[in-house]
Amino acid sequence: MSFTGNIGSAAGRNGQRADGHVLLVGGGVIGKGWAVQLLAHGHRVVLADPAVGADEVARHVRQNRHAVESLGGDLDGWESRLHVVHDTGGGLEAALDGAVWVQESGPEDPGFKSRLAAWLDERLSPEVVIASSTSGTMPSALAAECTSAPGRVVVGHPFHPVPVIPLVEVVGNAHTADETAERACDFYRSLGKRPVRVRREVPGHLANRLQAALWREAYSLVERGVATVADVDAAITNGPGLRWALLGPLLGQHLGGGPGGMAHTLEHLGPPAQEWMDDLRDARLSPELVSLLVDGVDREVGDRGADELSAVRDALLVRLLQDKRDAGRSLP
């Protein structure tokens, strides 16, 4: 086993979680994000990745410290609660001892994920949930090779950047009991996340399907010359996107109906909306369309670097999330 980090016994100022650790399998963009989120909520973390060192994880924690603490986390004493394992054979096996939750964020390869789930399922006691961050693998495929307790294999799909965006989509497979899915939601809630249960497995879960519906039409409008890439982004960020972040697309429609609410909106604007829906086009990501989109984004970005844009995005997101939290129960 090769250890480059260290776990002490401290559990942080808000660390009520002295027993056991959360095992993270995969420490790329998403796995490192989970590490920050878990450490900021008092957990001990073992992160197993053949290619990611403790220094890299530590850098990520420091980069995200301000954001995660502004949103209610507390990273006091995190160094002593992080343990990084490179050996994903025997080292990973040793790390199963004391694991109370597994969050897999390895490569998006369904074969890898289902073999790993089966290997974990064979070794971990049945109450330990095996959650996968997967965007692209269905829960039933994840659990297909599990024979011990397949129902505890669930999708817990976060959004990037994990320490900032609250959403985690929880999707069970055909064997998953309601109680297990609810336990997963409780776990993510305890990390300051906003879990949403997806009641039936469908490709892409929920939020990415909704994004895909919008991307399809945006790509088509750009392809047909109706709008530029920058026009599409400006229309959303200065228009409905502002309301979506507060109310969602459906509650927003309800308020648009005035005193008559959703019923009035659908009565009044339903018929034209039906025409727009009927007119929506398909989009195929042909090489020509891809280069149109890439060129359009390059023009839109200009000389601003991705790091600069990401920093502005994250700072504003933190402020928005703080304001949303202060608004309490009035927002979904």
Ligand X SMILES: NC(=O)c1ccc[n+]([C@@H]2O[C@H](COP(=O)([O-])OP(=O)(O)OC[C@H]3O[C@@H](n4cnc5c(N)ncnc54)[C@H](O)[C@@H]3O)[C@@H](O)[C@H]2O)c1
* Cβ pair 171, 157 in contact under 8 A: yes
Interaction of residue 52 with ligand X, rule CB under 6 A: yes
How many residues in the shown chain lie near ligand X by CB under 6 A?
A: 24
Q: Closest residue (Cβ) to ligand X? A: 28
Comparing C-alpha atoms, which of 133, 54, 49, 29 is closest to residue 92?
49
Taking CB under 6 A as the binding criterion, the range among 14-22, 23-31, 228-236, 291-299 that sits at the site for ligand X is: 23-31
Residue of 37, 64, 103, 133 interacting with ligand X (CB under 6 A): 133
Catalytic residue among 108, 127, 169, 223: 169
Interaction of residue 36 with ligand X, rule CB under 6 A: no
Interaction of residue 195 with ligand X, rule CB under 6 A: no
Interaction of residue 106 with ligand X, rule CB under 6 A: yes
DSSP string, 273-315: HHHHHHH-------HHHHHHHHHHHHHHHTT--HHHHHHHHHH
Interaction of residue 61 with ligand X, rule CB under 6 A: no
What character string, x for contact with ligand X (CB under 6 A) and - otherwise, covers 136-155? x-------------------
Tokens of 214: 């919008």
**Least distance CB 136 / ligand X (angstroms):** 5
- Decide if 69 is catalytic: no
Residues numbered 155-184 forming contacts with ligand X, rule: CB under 6 A: 157-158, 160
Comparing C-alpha atoms, which of 87, 5, 101, 79 is closest to residue 48?
87
Comparing C-alpha atoms, which of 220, 203, 208, 205 is closest to residue 276?
220
Quickly count helices (H) and strands (E) in the chain. 12, 9
Contacts of 53 by beta carbon, 8 Å cutoff, 6+ apart: 4, 84, 86
Q: Give the interface with ligand X as residue ranges (CB under 6 A).
A: 25-31, 48-52, 88, 105-108, 133-136, 157-158, 160
Give the catalytic positions in this structure: 169
